[in-house]
Amino acid sequence: MLNITFRQLKIFESVSRHLSFSRAAEELHLTQPAVSMQVRSLEGAAGVPLTEQVGKRIHLTAAGEEMAGHARRMAQQLRELEETMVQMRGARGGRIVIGIVSTAKYFAPRMLAAFRRSHPQVELRIEVHNREHVVELLGDNRIDVAIMGRPPQAFETVAEVFADHPLIFVAEPEHPLVGRERIEPKELAGEAFLIREPGSGTRTTMEGYLREHGIKPRSAFEMSSNETIKQAVMAGLGIAFISAHTCGLEFEAHRLVPLPVAGTPVLRQWYVVRRAEKRLLPALNDFINFLRDEGAQHIQAHLRVLSPVARASRRGRSDKGVVTG
């Protein structure tokens, strides 16, 4: 039997997430030499190297990847045990690790602050990434729940709708299409588009809209963040198809203008997603119920300028409920 301690596994799990001894030490409030020593002891017990250093970067070996997976699962089980004991003592606390797709980072802080006010005993840890990485974290059970616009299909999940998600075309104020009461989709064919990276939910929705209307953009510039896209639109590089929830400040400052293109806003939904086998401990259950009951109103409060696009999103109809897949 391997002579491995929970402490060693906890430290290695942190190292495997950060791929850094110093960051793991900072997270665990330890010194870097203490972290290095525990990892070396773990390697000695395992009998194989778990990490290797290439230049200044740390990488996991195949054995390290295997050890990290087991360490994550054991850490999760230990946390669930701790929260169950808290529950049995009659308390209502715990910790939730929440994955948030980058588009949702504009309104999520408002929601999380409201949840913390009503549940001060619950600790929240937030991971903000692009959709692909959030799906990876959810699949590896490294987060408890995800806030995203399109549930993954690669594994079994339970996804609950908590708010509408309007996607729109925007341009800078001097663009020739600004000021029109209605724009036909075919008029966009000559425009340069600023688009998100492959795998982005926004890009997938945009491609579906363009395909439905037989539109092939004149040119497209691929960018990896909403902020970069908005700055490029404001600089006059083209138009963009983007979440209305990311543009509140720019609408208010008249730096961006929504384009009234026929068939928009395209209404999608925001989901709170968990793995199907995820145990619903009290803190997580409270958070999901909070989003279902109050999430939409906090998103609307974030969109301070109720443009026609925002009003349309409130009128839009969506299929509220639980989706399993």
**How far apart are the C-alpha atoms of 194 and 188, rounded to whole Å?**
13
Residue 323 scores a pLDDT above 80: no
CA separation (Å) from 79 to 6, 73, 91, 93, 182?
Answer: 12, 10, 15, 12, 54
- Residues in the chain, how many? 325
Q: In the numeric block, which tokens belong to residue 214?
A: 């037989």
Give pLDDT tens digits for 112-165. 999 999 999 898 999 999 888 999 999 988 899 999 988 999 899 999 999 999
Comparing 7-16, 86-95, 101-110, the range with the smallest average pLDDT is 86-95
**How far apart are the C-alpha atoms of 201 and 152, rounded to whole Å?**
11
**How far apart are the C-alpha atoms of 73 and 44, rounded to whole Å?**
21
Q: What does the pLDDT read at residue 260?
A: 95
Q: What does the pLDDT read at residue 315?
A: 40
Q: Label the pairing between strands 122-129 and 94-101.
A: parallel
Give pLDDT tens digits for 133-146. 999 999 988 899 99
The model carries a pTM of: 0.68
Which one-letter amino acid corresponds to residue 267?
Answer: L
User: Tokens 């400040």 belong to which residue?
Assistant: 249
**How far apart are the C-alpha atoms of 38 and 78, rounded to whole Å?**
19
Complete domains list, the chain, with CATH: 6-71 (1.10.10.10), 75-164+268-303+317-324 (3.40.190.10), 165-267 (3.40.190.10)
Q: What does the pLDDT read at residue 316?
A: 40
Residue 319 scores a pLDDT above 50: no
Confidence bin at 308 (pLDDT 50/70/90): very low
Q: What does the pLDDT read at residue 146?
A: 97
**231 contact partners, CB below 8 Å, separation of at least 6:** none
How many angstroms separate the first and last alpha carbons of the chain? 39
Comparing 177-181, 250-254, 265-269, 302-306, the range with the smallest average pLDDT is 302-306
Q: In the numeric block, which tokens belong to residue 40?
A: 């070396």
Q: In the numeric block, which tokens belong to residue 289?
A: 């119920």
Higher pLDDT residue, 80 or 196?
Answer: 196
**How far apart are the C-alpha atoms of 134 and 145, rounded to whole Å?**
10
Confidence bin at 302 (pLDDT 50/70/90): low
Contact 169, 239 (CB under 8 A): yes
Q: What does the pLDDT read at residue 311?
A: 47
Q: What is the chain's mean pLDDT, rounded?
A: 86
Q: What does the pLDDT read at residue 68?
A: 92
